[in-house]
Structure 1
Amino acid sequence: MSAAFDSLPLAPAPFERGPNAARWPNRMAALGPAFGTALAAEPLPDPHWVARNDALAAELGWPADWHDGSALAVLSGNATWPGMSPFASVYSGHQFGVWAGQLGDGRALLLGEIESAAGPMEIQLKGSGLTPYSRMGDGRAVLRSSIREYLCSEAMHGLGIPSTRALALTGSQLPVRRERWETAAVVTRMAPSFLRFGHFEHFAHTARDLASLQRLVDFSLANYFPDCLGAAQPAAAMLSEVARRTAELIAQWQAVGFCHGVMNTDNMSLLGLTIDYGPFGFLDGFDPGHVCNHSDHQGRYAYARQPGVAWWNLQALATALLPQLGADEDAASEAALEAIEPYRSALSAALSARMRAKFGLATEQPDDATLIDDLLRLMAAERTDYTILFRHLSGFSTAPDHAQQPVRDLFIDRPAFDAWAGRYAERLRTEQSDDAERAVRMNSANPKFVLRNHLAQSAIEAAEAGDFDEIGRLMKVLARPYDEQATAPAAYAAFPPPGADQIEVSCSS
């Protein structure tokens, strides 16, 4: 083991036995020193468990008692399991549309990879202390932001949206200064890869290291996009696949009303995963201009702007990959634009399909977009609750002269809704839609439960007072967001309480 890890003790892992014993390869670190720094985590004083995702551990094939013994120390950054070689990667990126230069894993460490039923998964600590890429930061994460990431990672997975996952959350009384003094925490998160658009931007622009850029492209193709290797231009084929995955991801975000809040290029996953949960939020009242990030003073990452920002970010990635697309600059630029152009059509198709599913439309007809947009305009005018409206819409009846409660009660302008409802009922009748069958389909597309800010805040406040049970209760419900769950607390699916819109979430969250 490298001398970089001498300060951390080795701990026996509870699953280092049998045919599924972990080996912890670290392919990212194996790329070489240009790609980051091998170093140990900064130990977290007197750590304690805040939350554990036993269901995810079971998916990894770990035993039920995986969290006994050394797991708390390892997942707090106080020890390593045999074979682990912690590594902080370097990347660059555009932040709020401005080139920020070198960034990197300023408070994260990749411990290594473990085999799972879904293939190799990277295990990473977030909040594990200073790295060479911390810049002016302290390398720590606070309990508040860590709870939000832990919950939302799994909430997105429950919604069927590609995301990094959360395996565990540990805490400590170590004081950390943000807007106020808070306590430290470490999230253990996992993904097939944490590669970001910014990794490629780093070697193309900051380091100007085309040999390392080539190596990273070859690595990505071999490990994550092997189907692109046979293309005439493998890098262009990979770029097209990234554009397609990004389009599908953004369509899913828009359909459930999810706002990422900080779509910088360094927060965009090469694999089309939702990554880096900071100032995120789910829409309460429908507002296309909603900005969930208190630090986003220009509204760059407003809900309705997310599709355009993703396109901007894809152009930044395409620019970074120009050296891989040919020596002729004009030809390379043309190839890059051609490679990402499918994003537009893929996004349009994916979002249209998801919105038709939300409205229970089994077929596609020319006026569907107008019908959908007209209801969204009514909702925007009155800030109608996005999640509740669509969940209630599943109870819509095509019977003539039906009053359409409780959907109608969500609107102040009842005549405007009634006029729309008449058109919607007629549209459903054209495809002989069965109300009961449609309701089942719509409920599978329209969640009853999402991680609203006030629900996360309640769990945070309880945890800060020493009660971690609310985290577990929320996790259990958010794992099945489309189910009725009659035993779930009614407040989880209710309108947000007064003052919920005053909860501020910033980049320090």
Structure 2
Amino acid sequence: MKLINTFATELPWACEPVVPQPLQDAQLLHLNRDLLAELGLAEVSDAHWLACCGEGRPLPGMQPVAQVYAGHQFGGYSPRLGDGRALLLAEQQAPDGQRWDLHLKGAGKTPFSRFGDGRAVLRSSIREYLASEALHALGIPTTRALVLVASQEPVYREQVETGATVLRTAPSHLRFGHIEYFAWSGQGEKIPLLLDYLLRHHFPELNNGAELFTEVVRRTARLIAKWQAAGFCHGVMNTDNMSLLGLTLDYGPYGFIDAYVPDFVCNHSDPAGRYALDQQPAVGYWNLQKLAQALAGHVDDAALAAALAQYEQQLMLHYSELMRAKLGLAVWQEDDPALFRELFRLLAANKVDYHLFLRRLGEVTQEGAWPASLLALLPDPAIWQAWLERYRLRLASEGSEDGARKAQMDAINPKYVLRNTLAQQVIEAAEQGNMAPFERLFTALRRPYDEQPDYEDLATPNPAWYCGGELSCSS
């Protein structure tokens, strides 16, 4: 273990020291042992992780701080947010030299808690733990989960729940909102220092703020393209939840779509659908505009505008690459946009399961009957005949080979997806003290593309009673 406190020592004006508060009857529920080993933390004992993450006793060398930032929340600016229930405990320098934040969520009140209690609940902690590992396994940049702790401490949300903590890690938890806070609080002189910190520690290959913003635009565009292709809805794309490193950050009422619903809303606090699935690309651009406004005066205006102008092309190019791969198409052809538009129209009109359709589409062959497993997903297979024939002709036009194409499609279309119904079943079991369903789901999600006969029940369509509805922001 090699703990350092670069953020706390180099940017003391961007954080406040805080002592984590112990949970009542804290209990260690899960350790991500593979990731702990990767970070050089395997030798830390279970008892020490419980003490650190549940009993308010940081490990030697940790200097816990709460970071300050602001953000645009649902379009309105909130001038002072910050880590209201999370602490940067320290940074671990891994064996390969990479620096990793150790960020504890649910550790109690901080100077930025406002009227909150600083706690997280078991429900949301399990959801974040599972989702961050699921997205990582899908190749989507994200924070990751290290430690999960539960307790008997009552926490009041929409109902009484129990408190929990999750220790998450990432190279950095710096957000758009960090820049916004110093831009709009009369402390603009701190922004060059933040940019210097980012360049030295996270973007050493870049030379200045203009190059940094260009890279943030590129990473954000590619991240959202991956979300769209994966059918993942973040749910709360406020600027304080947007990572400057292009990571999926702050899991709240997220949701993977089941049936293809382009305007899917996973957050019941978003009745207008600002953060609906099909709005995420536009919101990403809007958020980058707000970041550019905060950087104005510190980065050349022309450079900011030029970087923003690249956003749509970056997103669409990457999304097109991903979707062609998901359909097993090796090259772009002029008629592909029309092929995709008709596919999405049919998926939406027939409420077809997005993930299972793409997975089973890989079973289509150049000749012969359509796969029975694919037809079973379609309420009226007859209306799909024209598109399927068109798809088969498209495959033939590039000389696609059935076996190789299926292997390639299976490697990008997951069989195992963190559907909300699966997460809810795991949460209900854990609340009753049964972690076996969590362990099964966690294991399956780490190999989402593989055939795993022991977990076949986790890959079936959702039960009829589940409609992929909205979730609460409360956590």
Aligned position for 1:306: 280
Aligned position for 1:35: 14
Query: Could you tell me how far 1:216 is from its partner in structure 2?
Result: 0.5
Structure 2 CA distance for aligned equivalents of residues 243 and 475 of structure 1: 32
Contact 1:126 1:188 in 2 (8 A): yes
After superposition, the CA RMSD in angstroms is 1.3
Aligned position for 1:337: 305
Query: What whole-Å deviation, never above 9, does each CA across 1:5-42 have from its counterpart, x for those lacking one?
Result: xxxxxxxxxxxxxxxx32x2122212344201011111
Structure 2 CA distance for aligned equivalents of residues 193 and 248 of structure 1: 18
- The residue correspondences of 1:3-42 to structure 2 (distance < 5 A) are 21-22=1-2, 24-42=3-21
Contact 1:384 1:411 in 2 (8 A): yes
Aligned position for 1:181: 160
Partner letter of residue 252 of structure 1? K
Structure 1 CA distance for aligned equivalents of residues 282 and 461 of structure 2: 30
Residue among 284, 294, 307 paired with 2:258? 284
2:464 aligned with 1:486: no
Residue among 72, 79, 99 paired with 1:101? 79
Contact 1:36 1:89 in 2 (8 A): yes
2:213 aligned with 1:227: no
Q: Greater CA deviation, 465-474 or 303-312? A: 465-474
Structure 1 CA distance for aligned equivalents of residues 70 and 164 of structure 2: 25
Residue among 448, 451, 462 paired with 2:429? 462
Structure 1 CA distance for aligned equivalents of residues 261 and 7 of structure 2: 41
2:474 aligned with 1:508: yes
Query: Could you tell me how far 1:340 is from its partner in structure 2?
Result: 2.1
Query: Could you tell me how far 1:273 is from its partner in structure 2?
Result: 0.5
Distance 1:240-1:502 versus aligned 2 partners, 3 A rule: closer
Query: Could you tell me how far 1:502 is from its partner in structure 2?
Result: 6.3
Query: What whole-Å deviation, never above 9, does each CA across 1:312-368 have from its counterpart, x for those lacking one?
Result: 111111111112124xxxxx2x33111222111110110000000000001111111
Query: Could you tell me how far 1:503 is from its partner in structure 2?
Result: 5.2
Residue among 121, 126, 141 paired with 1:142? 121
2:361 aligned with 1:393: yes
Structure 2 spans left out of the alignment, 5+ residues: none
Q: Greater CA deviation, 114-123 or 310-319? A: 114-123
Structure 2 CA distance for aligned equivalents of residues 390 and 90 of structure 1: 42
Aligned position for 2:46: 68
Query: Could you tell me how far 1:505 is from its partner in structure 2?
Result: 1.1
Residue among 132, 135, 153 paired with 1:153? 132
Partner letter of residue 234 of structure 2? H
SS in 2 for 1:188: strand
Structure 1 CA distance for aligned equivalents of residues 141 and 193 of structure 2: 26
| Identity among equivalent pairs (%) | 49
Query: What whole-Å deviation, never above 9, does each CA across 1:392-423 have from its counterpart, x for those lacking one?
Result: 10101111x53343223322333321000111
- The residue correspondences of 1:347-426 to structure 2 (distance < 5 A) are 347-399=315-367, 402-426=369-393
Structure 2 CA distance for aligned equivalents of residues 82 and 410 of structure 1: 55
Contact 1:87 1:110 in 2 (8 A): yes
Aligned position for 2:149: 170
Distance 1:276-1:118 versus aligned 2 partners, 3 A rule: farther
**Taking structure 2 as the reference length, what is the TM-score of the superposition?**
0.97
Structure 2 CA distance for aligned equivalents of residues 412 and 470 of structure 1: 31
Structure 2 CA distance for aligned equivalents of residues 62 and 415 of structure 1: 56
Residue among 222, 236, 258 paired with 1:262? 236
Contact 2:236 2:275 in 1 (8 A): yes
2:441 aligned with 1:474: yes
Q: Greater CA deviation, 245-254 or 192-201? A: 245-254
Structure 1 CA distance for aligned equivalents of residues 326 and 68 of structure 2: 40
- The residue correspondences of 1:195-206 to structure 2 (distance < 5 A) are 195-205=174-184
Residue among 101, 106, 126 paired with 1:122? 101
SS in 1 for 2:376: helix
Contact 2:176 2:240 in 1 (8 A): yes
Partner letter of residue 199 of structure 1? H
SS in 1 for 2:101: strand
SS in 2 for 1:422: helix
Query: Could you tell me how far 1:223 is from its partner in structure 2?
Result: 1.2
Structure 1 CA distance for aligned equivalents of residues 66 and 303 of structure 2: 33
Distance 1:308-1:507 versus aligned 2 partners, 3 A rule: same
Contact 1:360 1:439 in 2 (8 A): yes
Partner letter of residue 135 of structure 1? R
Query: Could you tell me how far 1:98 is from its partner in structure 2?
Result: 1.1
Structure 2 CA distance for aligned equivalents of residues 444 and 386 of structure 1: 16
Query: What whole-Å deviation, never above 9, does each CA across 1:97-122 have from its counterpart, x for those lacking one?
Result: 11121100000000111122371101
SS in 1 for 2:303: helix
SS in 2 for 1:175: strand
Distance 1:77-1:343 versus aligned 2 partners, 3 A rule: farther
Partner letter of residue 506 of structure 1? S
2:426 aligned with 1:447: no
Query: Could you tell me how far 1:77 is from its partner in structure 2?
Result: 4.8
Distance 1:120-1:337 versus aligned 2 partners, 3 A rule: same
**Taking structure 1 as the reference length, what is the TM-score of the superposition?**
0.91
Structure 1 CA distance for aligned equivalents of residues 19 and 418 of structure 2: 34
Query: What whole-Å deviation, never above 9, does each CA across 1:368-404 have from its counterpart, x for those lacking one?
Result: 11111211110000110011111110101111x5334
Query: Could you tell me how far 1:212 is from its partner in structure 2?
Result: 1.0
Aligned position for 1:7: none
Query: What whole-Å deviation, never above 9, does each CA across 1:153-195 have from its counterpart, x for those lacking one?
Result: 1111111111101001001100000000000000000000000
SS in 1 for 2:453: coil
Aligned position for 2:464: 498
Distance 1:260-1:111 versus aligned 2 partners, 3 A rule: same
2:301 aligned with 1:322: no
